[in-house]
Amino acid sequence: MPKDQGVQATHVGESVVDMKFAAIADLDSAESDDQLESWRVRFLGRKGRLTSLLRGLGSLDIDERKVIGAEANKLRGELESLYEERTSKLKSTRAPVGSIDITLPGRKPALGGLHPSTQMIREITQAFNEMGFQTIEGPEVELEKYNFDMLNIPANHPARDQWDTIWVDSDTHNDVLLRTHTSPMQARTMEQNDPPIRVIVPGKCYRYESTDATHEWHFNQVEGLAVDDGITFADLKGTLYEFARRIFGPQRKVRFRCDFFPFVEPGVDMSIDWNGSWIEILGAGMVHPKVLENAGYDSTKYTGFAFGMGPERISMLRNEITDIRHFFSNDLRFLTQF
Ligand code: PHE
């Protein structure tokens, strides 16, 4: 009997040859694990097409059953090895899980950076840390008592006009405000600690002020305080000279002039020589005896000096920034330059 005749078995379902063509075409188009598995179930599975063909053999007469049975079993063997082949071919062309295509150009991760104010604050505090000052922080929402009263700035005193204040409750002007400077931490530190004291206090301050290129309504300050038995104005000068050299370079010239702040006596401001002109960078002075006494210190035994500066101002000088408002406008074109 010619071979092709023997595989005609319409009464047991489809012919072995038809199934073979369908199976091979389907297998060739299987591209994924899921497609391969669904192919296996459809053709070789327990309820698959080949299995049901083999099951139907029983209804054939003995001669047909022999021929078609042999063909169908041969096909099973063929399909199983084609299936293996296809599976390993797909595996070998696929990149292993977790691998990377090293021919692709890399994607640059977007890195953040420290804000220029933070960078300046860290540089300033580090300079003082190396001179023995400890960095501490204090509250931005402050009591009138610490922001003004304990610093020898009584209510209704004209000196308060120097610090235009944002009150937390603007109707009642009760005693809660946004600190106008970091100096309240002088009072808080002395109230809670005995001498010797050497602290450096960075932090945010707020003023009820209109803004322009050199004024912001919020900004940072760095406060310094040293109190001990026998501290003199020479200590103040030596410390601030050293600070200026560390931040602006060893050749930097500085100048002190008299200035007034209610919580120091005498009070000064310090300027640095900047391309031939004097630029004021901080206020300072010897802690006023009243401020020492307000904190419970014996002003005949202890003396100290204090200073305060604006890190944004210093950063503006060093980096030739012409407008202080850049610091807080969140513009990446500015921020990414640091
Ligand atoms: N707190 C003052 C200001 O904001 C600066 C200062 C601090 C002056 C300490 C003297 C001593 O202007």
The residues, ordered by sequence, that sit 6+ positions from 111 with a Cβ below 8 Å of its Cβ are: none
pLDDT at 10 over 80: no
Residue list, ligand 1 pocket, CB within 6 Å: 181, 183, 223, 261, 264, 283-285, 306-308
Q: Please check the confidence at residue 231 and state whether its pLDDT lies above 70.
A: yes
CA 186 to ligand 1: nearest atom = 9
Q: Is the pLDDT of residue 173 over 80?
A: no
Q: Distance between CA atoms of 94 and 240, rounded to whole angstroms?
A: 67
pLDDT of residue 179: 97
pLDDT given at position 95: 67
**Which residues pair with residue 167 across a beta bridge?**
177
Tell me what the mean pLDDT of segment 81-85 comes to. Answer: 91
Instruction: Choose the weakest-confidence range: 18-32, 130-144, 248-262.
Output: 18-32
Probe residue for ligand 1, chosen from 204, 261, 305 as the CB with the greatest number of ligand atoms within 8 Å: 261
Helices within the chain (DSSP H only): 3-6, 16-29, 33-44, 49-55, 62-93, 116-129, 144-147, 184-192, 233-248, 289-294, 311-319, 332-335
Of the listed ranges 110-114, 171-175, 292-296, the least confidently predicted one is 171-175
**Contact predicate 291/263, CB 8 Å:** yes
pLDDT band at 225 (very low <50, low <70, confident <90, very high): very high
pLDDT of residue 96: 67
| Cα 284 to averaged position of ligand 1 atoms, centre (Å) | 6
Q: Which CATH superfamily is domain 116-335 in?
A: Bira Bifunctional Protein; Domain 2 (3.30.930.10)
Q: 249 pairs with which residues across the strands?
A: none
What is the pTM for the complete model shown?
A: 0.70
* Confidence check: pLDDT of 260 > 80: yes
Region 34-47: mean pLDDT is 90
Q: How far is residue 132's CA from residue 221's CA, in Å, rounded to a whole number?
A: 19
Asked if the model's pLDDT at residue 114 lies above 50, the reply is: yes
pLDDT at 13: 57
* Mean predicted lDDT score pLDDT of the chain: 90
